[in-house]
Amino acid sequence: MKSNVYFIAVLGLLAWPCAAQDTASSLKKQAGGGNVTSHSEGLHGYIGFGHEELPADGGYSAGMGFYAAVWSLVDQPLENFQFGLPSAWIQPDNSDNKDQPLAPEGTLARKWKERGPTWSSVFQTVEGGLGYWAGNHFRYGPPKFSMNATPQCYDYEVGSPGWSFFYSNEALPDNRLGIAQLSNRLLIPPDALPFQGNPNGEFLGYTWMALPFTDPTTGDPPTGDQSWTCFLSAANFKGPIAYYIPETWSKIGKLFNYPFIHGRGLDARPGNMGGGAMEINTVPRFDSKDAQGTAYTKLPKLQFPVDAEGRAFLVQDVTYYSKSALYDTFKAWRDGGPACSGLMDGKGAWKPKLKTNTTHYDQAGKKITGVESSFDTRIFDGNVWGLQWSTNDIVAKGLFPQYYKHVGENRVAVPASAVPAETKLLSQEFKRAPMGVPYISPSGGAWAKPGSKLRPFTARLIDGSVVTYSWYRFVDQPSFQQYHWSVEKKAKLQALVEKLHANWPLDRDYMAPPTRGKLVALDPALLVTPPHGLEVGYVPIVTGQAAKN
């Protein structure tokens, strides 16, 4: 079966929170100069790559992973800014269905008629990754890493063990929680995972792997055994952090009384994964005119990590996995067989040859030209995807063109020296992002019954926030409480996680190490040590995040 995985940085208006609408607000007119106005829609485009088709009979649909560069795209936290770094997108493979709707009547995606007749592209997804999002509450300069999934046709999204994907300050309702925290050594805040220092091209590895933490069921609704599990590979943390509970995907069929989609979710179907892009979503801009009435635009300074030859290495070691890579040995271990190390077996892996094309950009729907003369996408030696800067007078190596002249319907990249002084654009500064309001969780419901073992604890993060967390027995964490599982099923799952905590250390290379470059470090404040007596079988669940006093 052909496998497709998309590396998407910001997955468009359907998948990621949008920035505020264009305000077209006028800044104070300066003496002798132009009238500078502030807008959104400064830049949109897809910096993309693809790859050769995977072997049709290889079964490489049980997982995918890669190493992505981490760097500060902007030199300060910006308001209304959303721009992704290479990330992942996985869908259930429903290629056998040609005309039956997967999105039930009444779901948000069903209203998007252009996605018909099957709505397969907006049925269910695993998304997330590295990026900047307009909904972030606590921006600090570098990007963050976040999980995300859309289990119900974009009716809601699940981005952490308690919250949606930056859509709300309050935790998800109990019946929409979907992520089970797996790591007992890492905090997963609702505002995503920050990094140590100021990364400049170091790599974060991450892999999504379908693992059988529980058996499939034939009940109401029938549910498969695939728990899509996120593994990270950083300088100071390696291993699985969390997984999506299979019922997260299967319950839509019961909720909408629509039996056709039973067995068609990510709990049961192979992962549908392919080429992709970094999508540039929301970038602010300033507009102004010179004395002759010609308009110019200024964008924020966007910088990329380049070497002396003008090369930015962004994605490497793209790998797809069959069940023989880890699923099979993990299941045998769960059922009493030999110990499973958690290492992804290269015998069940496939590394496709990457390919790429020149990117096209627009500004509020108007075509941008000239960027390709500054840099273009490349596949470098070692099957590494990235960008190559050329020698020109528009921008220095590693910088995205910042200024544009309006020529007819196009926006033409120009150097700063070509922007007339009377426009006042050169001195304009973009608005910094303020600290956001706190994320809060309920004091009752699934968060309180059966509740935590120890609370509360706090951690002060590099992004200027304080995270509050409590220690829960694994099967007692809030996400599981909506399901009426038997005592036996919960005990079996708890025992498996206790074995995992006892036998899978933080310094093991679960993913194969990167073939080039260094690993980035997560913010050390995210790393915690279980209290005495809770070393195995307990996890630190974040219950709130707020700005430091």
Decide if pLDDT at 390 tops 60. Answer: yes
- What are the tens digits of pLDDT across the range 240-271? 999 999 999 999 999 999 999 999 999 999 99
Nearest Cα neighbor of 62 from 241, 330, 339, 285 is 330
Cα–Cα distance, 184 to 474 (Å, whole number):
9
From 18-22, 77-81, 191-195, the region with the lowest mean pLDDT: 18-22
- What are the tens digits of pLDDT across the range 421-450? 999 999 999 999 999 999 999 999 999 999
Asked if residue 45 belongs to a domain, the reply is yes
Handedness of CA 256, 259, 263, 265 (dihedral sign): negative
Nearest Cα neighbor of 371 from 360, 380, 363 is 360
User: Which pLDDT does position 86 carry in this prediction?
Assistant: 84
Parallel/antiparallel/unpaired status of strands 91-92 and 285-289: unpaired
- What are the tens digits of pLDDT across the range 20-63? 444 444 444 443 457 999 999 999 988 888 899 889 888 999 99
Range of the domain at 154: 12-23+40-285+299-362
Asked if residue 319 belongs to a domain, the reply is yes
Residues counted in the chain: 549
User: 58 in helix, strand or coil?
Assistant: coil
User: Which pLDDT does position 32 carry in this prediction?
Assistant: 42
Asked if residue 244 belongs to a domain, the reply is yes
Q: Cβ distance 255 to 175 under 8 Å?
A: no
**CA angle centred on 461, ends 459 and 463, rounded to 5°:** 155
User: Which pLDDT does position 47 carry in this prediction?
Assistant: 87
Decide if pLDDT at 15 tops 50. Answer: no
User: 421 in helix, strand or coil?
Assistant: helix
**CA distances from residue 278 to 282, 315, 385, 434 in whole angstroms, order as listed:** 13, 11, 12, 26
* Helix, strand, coil tally for the chain in percent (to 5): 15, 35, 55
Asked if residue 6 belongs to a domain, the reply is no
- What are the tens digits of pLDDT across the range 296-338? 999 999 999 999 999 999 999 999 999 999 999 999 999 999 9
The whole-model pTM stands at 0.93
Parallel/antiparallel/unpaired status of strands 91-92 and 44-51: unpaired
Q: What is the average pLDDT across 476-489?
A: 97
Q: What is the CA radius of gyration of the chain?
A: 24
Cα–Cα distance, 323 to 332 (Å, whole number):
12
Cα–Cα distance, 190 to 169 (Å, whole number):
9
φ, ψ dihedrals at 115, nearest 5°: -90, -5
Asked if residue 549 belongs to a domain, the reply is no
- What are the tens digits of pLDDT across the range 281-302? 899 999 999 999 999 999 999 9
Nearest Cα neighbor of 363 from 314, 318, 400, 395 is 400
Query: Cα-Cα-Cα-Cα dihedral of 485, 487, 492, 494, to 10°?
Result: 90
- What are the tens digits of pLDDT across the range 522-549? 999 999 999 999 999 999 999 999 999 7
Q: How far is C-alpha 397 from the geometric centre of its chain's CA atoms?
A: 27
**CA angle centred on 207, ends 148 and 519, rounded to 5°:** 105
Mean pLDDT of the chain: 92
Cα–Cα distance, 82 to 78 (Å, whole number):
9
Q: Where are the strands (E) in 29-120, listed by range?
A: 37-39, 44-51, 63-71, 82-87, 91-92
**Which residues, in sequence order, are CB contacts of 213 under 8 Å at separation 6+?**
180, 225, 227, 229, 243, 334, 493, 496, 497
Residue type at position 172? L
Residue type at position 72? S
User: 283 in helix, strand or coil?
Assistant: coil
Asked if residue 115 belongs to a domain, the reply is yes
**CA distances from residue 167 to 17, 129, 283, 388, 399 in whole angstroms, order as listed:** 7, 16, 19, 36, 31
Asked if residue 487 belongs to a domain, the reply is no
Asked if residue 144 belongs to a domain, the reply is yes
Number of domains in the chain: 1
**CA distances from residue 249 to 90, 92, 144, 218, 264 in whole angstroms, order as listed:** 13, 10, 26, 14, 9
Task: Read off the DSSP letter of residue 323.
Answer: T
Q: Cβ distance 65 to 205 under 8 Å?
A: yes
User: Which pLDDT does position 129 carry in this prediction?
Assistant: 92
* Residue 501: band (very low, low, confident or very high) from pLDDT cuts 50, 70, 90: very high
Rounded percentage of the chain residues whose pLDDT exceeds 90 = 85
